[in-house]
Amino acid sequence: MIARRDLSSLSREKTIVLALVIQLFVAAFSSFLVVGLTSLYDPSSVESDGIAIGVTGDASQALFEAVAETEGVRPVAFDSPSDARRAFDAGRVNAVLTGQYAATPNGDGKILQVTATAPEGSIRTTLVVVQLRTVLKTLERNERFERANSLERVPLTLPPEADASPYFSFTYTVLIPLLLFLPPFISGSVAVDTVTEEIERGTLELLRVAPVSLLDIVDGKSLAMVALAPAQAALWLLLLSLNGISVANPLALLVFVSAMAAIVVVFGVVLGLQMGRRRPAQLLYSVLTLVVFGAAILLPEHPATTTAKLAVDSPTLLTYGHVGGYVALAVALFAITRRYVDRIEPESL
CB burial of residue 47 (10 Å; 0-12, 13-18, 19+): exposed
| Domain co-membership, 52 together with 177 | no
| Domain co-membership, 98 together with 223 | no
Q: Does 234 fall in a domain? A: yes
Q: Does 291 fall in a domain? A: yes
Q: Which of 120, 150, 180 finishes a domain?
A: 150
Q: At 254, which amino acid appears?
A: L
Q: Does 158 fall in a domain? A: no
| Domain co-membership, 212 together with 327 | yes
pLDDT score for 9: 56
| Domain co-membership, 109 together with 79 | yes
Q: What is the CATH classification number for the domain harbouring 74? A: 3.40.190
pLDDT score for 41: 47
Q: Which of 100, 118, 150 finishes a domain?
A: 150
Q: Does 134 fall in a domain? A: yes
| Domain co-membership, 192 together with 58 | no
Nearest 5°: phi and psi at 35? Answer: -65, -50
pLDDT score for 14: 52
| Domain co-membership, 286 together with 199 | yes
pTM score, whole prediction: 0.62
| Domain co-membership, 305 together with 194 | yes
Domain region containing 304? 2-37+165-348
| Domain co-membership, 121 together with 11 | no
| Domain co-membership, 30 together with 51 | no
Number of domains in the chain: 2
Q: Does 94 fall in a domain? A: yes
Q: Does 155 fall in a domain? A: no
Q: Which of 150, 178, 196 finishes a domain?
A: 150
| Domain co-membership, 33 together with 129 | no
Q: Does 311 fall in a domain? A: yes
| Domain co-membership, 145 together with 222 | no
Q: Does 96 fall in a domain? A: yes
The per-residue pLDDT string of the chain (349 residues; one tens digit each, 9 = 90 and over) reads: 555 555 555 555 555 555 566 656 655 555 445 544 544 445 454 444 568 899 998 888 888 989 888 877 889 999 899 999 999 988 889 899 998 888 777 767 778 889 988 887 665 677 788 888 888 888 888 888 877 777 677 666 666 666 655 567 777 877 788 888 888 988 888 888 888 887 777 766 665 555 667 777 778 878 888 888 898 888 888 877 887 788 899 999 999 999 999 999 999 888 888 887 888 888 888 898 888 888 888 888 889 889 989 998 889 999 999 999 999 999 999 999 888 887 776 555 5
| Domain co-membership, 242 together with 266 | yes
